[in-house]
Amino acid sequence: MIALLQRVSAASVSVYGRDIARIGRGILALVAVEPNDGAKEVERLAERVLKYRLFSDETGRMNRDISEVGGELLLVPQFTLAADTDSGNRPSFSTAASPELGRQRFGDLVESVRRRGQNVATGEFGADMQVALVNDGPVTFLLRVKSDH
């Protein structure tokens, strides 16, 4: 699984001009599922997203996670993060999970985060979404949880 974490002061998702999710200070995570991702990868990514230290402490060092700052979380499915871009000028999506698996694992990730006590807003799987954000910093990190398969 792949997550592109962005520390934001605000973020929102709209579908067909209608707002479906909105957060204030926190993390916007764009999430992609790869073909061999299972429950183990879901749980590991949930743990990493919630424990990743993107927020500054009193000395200005990125030493605090989302729960320590009372931050909000917005998870947005984005299969294009799993694209194979190694050659040519057009991405290949053979390295992304099928839509069925992607939908299932994304839902599993949302549930895992909720079980850990974090409120979460989400984008809509398979929809043509418009994502707006104010990247704070900017601070952006790419997390990848590899399958053992």
Q: Active-site residues: which are they?
A: 78-80
Q: How far apart are CA 95 and CA 148, in angstroms?
A: 16
3-state SS string for 15-62: ECCEEEEEECCEEEEEEECCCCCCHHHHHHHHHHHHHCCCEECCCCCE
- Token pair 């995570």 is found at 29
Q: How far apart are CA 14 and CA 131, in angstroms?
A: 7
Q: How far apart are CA 66 and CA 49, in angstroms?
A: 9
